[in-house]
C-alpha cells in the first residue's frame, strides 16, 4: 500500500508546470520579441564622426518597440492561460 502511494507521488511530481498550449504561446511570444529586436538593429554609422539620421527611422522608433511589447503581452497571456480541465 505504501509503495503505490510513492508511485502516485512520483507521477504527480513529473508533471510540467504548464501544458502544451502554454509552451506554444511562449515560443510564439519569444519569436515576436526576437523579430522586434531584429527590426531595431542597424542604422548606425561606421565612422563615429559622421551622424546617420537613419537611426531615427519610423521602423526603429515606433514599429520595433511596439512589436516587442506585443511579444511580452503574448508571454503574459501564455503564463496566465488556464489549463483545460481533464476529462
Give the span between the Cα atoms of 57 and 65, in whole angstroms: 12
Q: Tens-of-pLDDT digits for all 87 residues of the chain?
A: 556 666 666 666 677 788 999 999 999 999 999 999 999 998 777 888 888 888 889 999 999 999 999 999 999 999 999 877 655
Give the span between the Cα atoms of 12 and 9, in whole angstroms: 5
> Which triple of cell numbers denotes residue 44?
548606425
> Which triple of cell numbers denotes residue 30?
519569444
Instruction: Please state the pTM of the whole predicted model.
Output: 0.76
Closest CA to 78 of 33, 11, 37, 38: 33
Give the span between the Cα atoms of 49 and 19, in whole angstroms: 53
Residues 6+ apart with CB under 8 A from 48: none
Amino acid at each position: 500500500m505504501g509503495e503505490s502511494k510513492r508511485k502516485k507521488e512520483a507521477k504527480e511530481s513529473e508533471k510540467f508546470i504548464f501544458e502544451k498550449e502554454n509552451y506554444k504561446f511562449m515560443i510564439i511570444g519569444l519569436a515576436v520579441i526576437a523579430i522586434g529586436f531584429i527590426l531595431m538593429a542597424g542604422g548606425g554609422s561606421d565612422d563615429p564622426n559622421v551622424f546617420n539620421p537613419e537611426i531615427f527611422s519610423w521602423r526603429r522608433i515606433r514599429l520595433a518597440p511596439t512589436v516587442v511589447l506585443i511579444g511580452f503581452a503574448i508571454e503574459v497571456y501564455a503564463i496566465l492561460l488556464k489549463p483545460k480541465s481533464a476529462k
